[in-house]
Amino acid sequence: MNPTETDKTTDKTTQPAAAGTGAVDTKAEDTAVAAPGTSEKTAGTTAETVGDEHDTAVSDDIDADERLDVDDDGRTPRASSGLAASAGAVFAAGLGVVGLSGSWIGRIAAERQTLIGQIKTSQGGSPADQISAIYGDAWHTTALSNGVFALLALIIGLVVLTRPRKSGWVPAVAVAGAALGALGLIVSIGMYFDIILALPSAGS
């Protein structure tokens, strides 16, 4: 074999390798070209994920705002202090005590009714009429006054129990006020209709 044929064989042998090398370079270039597109898709996906997280956070904030008392301008959310419920519970308990023990208003009304009865029976009247006018009407007036306070205590206590966001001690005080109001109302009704203590009867 002469040197010329050897050179040709060598050229033929190296040509596929060169072609292969060129193909590899072409694929590398394609990969390099595709890489920026892949990065853009990844960036887009990341942006969408961040957007979804932002929407979720905004939704959570809206839900939180709905659970708060918001000012008239709608820009300053603030948590409810529960002051109204606390004051209502204490007020109900106080009214319940007054409904059972009586008040100065009831005493004044009873004394006034006693005076009116004395004026009516001063010109004469049967003992039964005197008892009813002087004592019975006064007792009924006291029972009516106490019943009003007891009814208010019962209503306010029940209203406080239906309100949300109450402190730990508020429900207990509200229940106590409602219970005292209910008890005072029962006693007042019994006194007004002479069920618990009836008027004394006049002797024959």
Domain boundaries, the chain: 3-70, 83-192
Decide if pLDDT at 53 tops 90: no
pLDDT confidence of residue 70: 47
pLDDT confidence of residue 173: 95
pLDDT confidence of residue 80: 54
pLDDT confidence of residue 71: 46
179 or 24, higher pLDDT: 179
Determine phi and psi for 36, rounding to 5 degrees.
Answer: -60, -40
Contact 73, 100 (CB under 8 A): no
Helix (H/G/I), strand (E/B), else coil: 124: coil
Angle, helices 137-162 vs 170-192, to 10°: value is 160
Report the run of H or E that residue 158 belongs to, with start and end: helix 137-162
Percentage of the chain surpassing pLDDT 90?
Answer: 43
